Amino acid sequence: MLTLGAVIIFTLGLTVLEWWVLVFPVGKFTGLALLILFSGAKLWLTYTWLTITPQASTQRRVNVFVGFFLSLFLVMLAAAIGARFSTWPVYVNDGVLQTEAALEYLGKGESPYGTSYYGTSLETYHYPSELGPENPAFYHYVYLPGLLLMSWPVQQVSMMWPGFYDQRFVTFLVMVGLLGLCWHYVRGRREAAYLVPVVLAGAWCTPFFLLGYNDILPLALVLAGLMALWQGGRWFVPGVLLVAFACVVKQTAWFAVPLILVAMWGMFRAGQLSKQQLVRALAAALVLSVVVVAPFWYWGGQGYWDDTLGYILGTVQHTYPAFGVGLAEILVRTGVLASRQAPFPFDVLQLLVGAVVGVLAAVKLVRAREIYPPTILYWWAGWLGSMWLVARYFALTHLGFILTLVGIGFVLQQVLPKQAKLNPAAD
């Protein structure tokens, strides 16, 4: 029989092993296999504890299990932020440093797009030499304006108290929102224990979140939007607006939008969504997107385009290196690519693969005639993962994000009834 103490110890051990995979050079593809293995093992361990030994997993023990890892997570986050202001050697994601620099540009009335990031805090980031002679982020700020709009008020408040700013303050607040949203649906249920292997000690949140990666932002916004759309009624338009705002925060959210639109089209065809309701929701989303993006586009359209899209597609001089755990790394290792900066039609491959997976998703979602959050999350993970696999850059952080999408989908599938509130007009 599995006891609470045993589950905590084994989960901690697997999480430490995940850190070992990321910190020590075990090999990229070995790391790929190990992260999947460890993530699956933690989920299986929790599942076994809940189902095979139910007498050992009462609600009180589940709450202790979640509370322990939540407390540990908060301590580790505080230590990670505090370490930046000490003499310890600290690693922090370059996106944290660049966004903080972008906010400084905004504070001076300058556009953060189409400008150089030399002379900013980004220079303190130790760019891996195997990726190239210099960090291409010096020339491009890839994140969308919504991230800056979320970060600006947090920066202003934090400079008053506690007197300093760390970009992870924003991701922390969003993480609180994500956990609160999930807890709303699993509260009082033993399935709440799954939040530990999926989020608090998950393959993405524990290592990559603490280092400053910000994929939690589009994930939380899209998830909140999906839950609102699933509720229907007066929540329908706010749900669309949440997804729209996610799309002006980070490009990752773009891949969820076609899936949601196809599901909405299926509802429309089935008479569960009127033309007026559909047009009203999409118009609101369009207006929000234009309001957020237009000022930055007006500030310098070409620079904005190069930073947020050309940089990703590889159509600019300084672009992502061919790197990671996907096709690009294989091409580099086999000599097909002479260097990590060599050109290759990854965008064409992504289009082809994306088209195939996208058609499969569209067929399934139209037939479903509903917006069921777990289904959207699964297809989002599958579509995004298949395109990342043949992309120029597919790192372990991307893999961790995909595993988190699947994991949250699994958690919600345990607690959400399959029959959604399909009629947005009903309340």
Percent of the chain whose predicted confidence (pLDDT) is above 90 = 79
Retrieve residue 225's tokens: 């939007």
Quick one: pLDDT band at residue 24, thresholds 50, 70, 90? low
Distance between CA atoms of residues 392 and 176, nearest Å: 32
Distance between CA atoms of residues 51 and 124, nearest Å: 49
Q: Would you say 243 and 200 are in contact if contact means Cβ atoms under 8 Å apart? A: no
Q: Would you say 229 and 277 are in contact if contact means Cβ atoms under 8 Å apart? A: no
Mean pLDDT, range 420-426, rounded to an integer: 45
Q: CB atoms < 10 A from the CB of 178, how many? A: 22
Distance between CA atoms of residues 77 and 80, nearest Å: 5
Give the DSSP letter of residue 394.
E
Distance between CA atoms of residues 357 and 89, nearest Å: 43
Report phi then psi at 384, rounded to 5. -65, -45
Query: What local confidence, expressed as pLDDT, does residue 53 receive?
Result: 79
Mean pLDDT, range 346-356, rounded to an integer: 96
Distance between CA atoms of residues 365 and 226, nearest Å: 14
pLDDT digits (tens, 9 = 90+) for 104-128: 999 999 999 999 999 999 999 989 8
| pTM confidence score | 0.94
Query: What local confidence, expressed as pLDDT, does residue 423 receive?
Result: 45
Query: What local confidence, expressed as pLDDT, does residue 421 receive?
Result: 46
Give the DSSP letter of residue 202.
-
Mean pLDDT, range 298-315, rounded to an integer: 94
Mean pLDDT, range 138-157, rounded to an integer: 97
78 CB-near residues (< 8 Å, 6+ apart):
none
The mean pLDDT value of the chain amounts to 92
Residue 156, pLDDT above cutoff 60: yes
